[in-house]
Amino acid sequence: MRPPLALAKYSIGVGDRFGRQARAQLEACRLALAAGVEVIPVWNKSYREHSIIGSEPIATRRAADEAVSALGWKLPYHVDADHIQLGTVERFLDACDFFTIDVAETIGRPAPAERVSAFVARHPELTGAIAIPGIDQPFETTAETVAAIARKYLLAVEEAGRIYRRILQAKGAGNFIAEVSMDETDCPQTPVELLVILAALADEGIPIQTIAPKFSGRFNKGVDYVGDVAAFECEFAADVAVVRHAVRAYRLPEDLKLSVHSGSDKFSLYAPIGRALRRFDAGVHLKTAGTTWLEELIGLAEAGSDGLALAKQIYAEAYAEREALSRPYAAVIDIDPALLPDPADVRCWSAAEFAATLRHDPTSPHFNPHFRQLLHIGYKVAARMGARYLDMLAAGEAVIARNVTTNLFERHIRPLFLGEQH
C-alpha cells in the first residue's frame, strides 16, 4: 500500500492561463533545487479560468506531465482544482490530485442555534484563556465569542465537508490533497477565528493539508501588498502558531500549513513570511496565478513587430471592456481609470516602454500598477483570439520562457524560500 499523498513543506501554485509555460515554470523550481531548497510546483487553474479559456483540467495535467518528463523532474508535483465548489468539482476529479475547496460564499450564513450550541459544548477548551506556544499572550475568549464565530463559519465548514466527501468518493483516501479556502470574503479571519474554524474542520472529518484564510490588507492581483506590513507579520506568525497548535489539539495532518492566495508579487511580505516560517520551522503554499500570463505579454512586447502589435491590441480591447472585466475581480483589484494610459498613446510605445510599464519593477519610472492590474484580468481578450494568440506564443517561446522562469525564481522563490533579495 502506498503512503498517503503528502504536500511538501514548501510549495508554489503556478497558474498558467493558456497552458504553454509549464516547462518554464518547472525550470524555476529546478533552479530552487540547485540553490538548496525544494519548492514543489502545483499547477492550479480554476473553473472560471477553464471556462474563459475554453480548456479542460486534463490539458493542465498533460502540460504538467510533459514538463516533468522533459526536464527529468524527480520530486513530487500536483495539479490543483482551484476554487472548486460542489457544482463544479466533477469536471476536475479525473485530472487533479489537489483540490482547493472554496466555501467563501457560505461564510456568514448563520448556522442553526442547536448546532452552534452543540459545537460550543463539544469544545470547552476554546472558552477562557487559550495558551498557544509562540504567542506571548493567551487568547481570552468567552462562550459567547466562540458561539458567534461558530454561527458565522459552521455552515461553510459543513459545505467543505460535502465537497470533500464527494472528492473522497471519487479519488479514495490518501490519493489527493485537500485545501480549504476562505479568502474570497469581505472580512479577514482573526487567529482566534482560525482556531475555531480548524476545530470545526476536524469535527467534520476533513484532513486538510492547507488552509487559506483571508488576511488583513489588500491582496490585489499581480501587485504588491497594500496594508500595514508590520501588522501583517504579527498576524501571519500568530496564524502559523495557531495551525501548529490545532494540529496537536485536533489531530489534523502533521503537514497542515497556511496557503497565501493572490500571493504573487507580494514583495513586501516575503521577508516577514520567511521570518515566521523559520521561527516555527513551518511550511507554506504560495499561489502565483496570473503573473505567468503577464510575462507572456511582456515577452510578446519584447519580441517586437507582430508580438508588440498584438500586446497593444490586447490592452486596447481590455481598456474598452475594463468595467466588465473588473466586475468578477472587484475584491482583488484597485484600478483607477484615470491612471490608465490611453490606448492611442500606447500604440506609439516602443517594445521597451510597453514592457517596462507592465513589468512589476517599482523602481522603474515607467511601471504602472493600474495598467498591470487591468492586463492581469484581461486574459479573456487573448482567449478570444484563439490560435492567433497561441501561435504568437509559440513564435516568441524563447524570450517568453526566459521571462517566466526569471519572474518566478528571482522575484518569488528567491526572496521567500531562500531569504535572498533579487
Average pLDDT value for residue range 324-340:
95
pLDDT of residue 245: 98
pLDDT confidence tier of residue 318, bands split at 50, 70 and 90: very high
Sorted by sequence, the CB contacts under 8 Å of residue 105 that are 6+ apart come out as 85
Q: How far apart are CA 20 and CA 63, in angstroms?
A: 7
pLDDT at 154 over 60: yes
pLDDT of residue 178: 98
Count the helix, strand and coil residues of the chain and give each as a percent rounded to the nearest 5: 55, 10, 35
Q: By C-alpha distance, which of 320, 218, 324, 327 is closest to 262?
A: 218
Sorted by sequence, the CB contacts under 8 Å of residue 95 that are 6+ apart come out as 56, 57, 58, 60, 61, 79, 81
Query: What letter would DSSP give residue 218?
Result: B
Sorted by sequence, the CB contacts under 8 Å of residue 216 that are 6+ apart come out as 188, 227, 228, 231, 232, 235
Q: Is 212 helix (H, G, I), strand (E, B) or coil?
A: strand
Query: Over the chain, what is the mean pLDDT?
Result: 96
Query: What letter would DSSP give residue 196?
Result: H
pLDDT at 1 over 50: no
pLDDT at 341 over 70: yes
State percent of the chain over pLDDT 70.
Answer: 99
List b or e across 31-52, with b for residues whose CB sees 16 or more CB atoms inside 10 angstroms.
bbeeeebebbbbbbbbbebbeb
**Tens-place pLDDT, residues 270-313:** 999 999 999 999 999 999 978 999 999 999 999 989 999 999 99
Q: How far apart are CA 414 and CA 420, in angstroms?
A: 6
**Tens-place pLDDT, residues 205-257:** 999 999 999 999 999 999 999 999 999 999 999 999 999 999 999 999 999 99
Sorted by sequence, the CB contacts under 8 Å of residue 221 that are 6+ apart come out as 262, 264, 290, 329, 332, 333, 373, 376, 377
pLDDT of residue 226: 97
**Tens-place pLDDT, residues 132-144:** 999 999 999 999 9
Sorted by sequence, the CB contacts under 8 Å of residue 31 that are 6+ apart come out as 405, 409, 413
List b or e across 336-373, with b for residues whose CB sees 16 or more CB atoms inside 10 angstroms.
eeeebbeeeebeebebeebbbbbbbeeeeeebbbbbbb
pLDDT at 422 over 60: no
Quick one: fold of 10-290+409-417? TIM Barrel (3.20.20)
pLDDT of residue 331: 85
pLDDT of residue 415: 96
Domain boundary assignment for the chain: 10-290+409-417, 292-397
Contact 387, 11 (CB under 8 A): no
- Sequence-ordered strand ranges (E) for 325-418: none
Q: How far apart are CA 378 and CA 296, in angstroms?
A: 13
pLDDT confidence tier of residue 421, bands split at 50, 70 and 90: low
**Tens-place pLDDT, residues 52-102:** 999 999 999 999 999 999 999 999 999 999 999 999 999 999 999 999 999
pLDDT at 130 over 50: yes
Q: Is the dihedral of CA 55, 56, 59, 64 positive or negative?
A: positive
pTM, full prediction: 0.96
Residue 417, classified by CB atoms within 10 Å of its CB into exposed (0-12), middle (13-18) or buried (19+), is buried
pLDDT of residue 19: 96
pLDDT of residue 162: 98
Sorted by sequence, the CB contacts under 8 Å of residue 71 that are 6+ apart come out as 23, 26, 27, 30
pLDDT of residue 3: 61
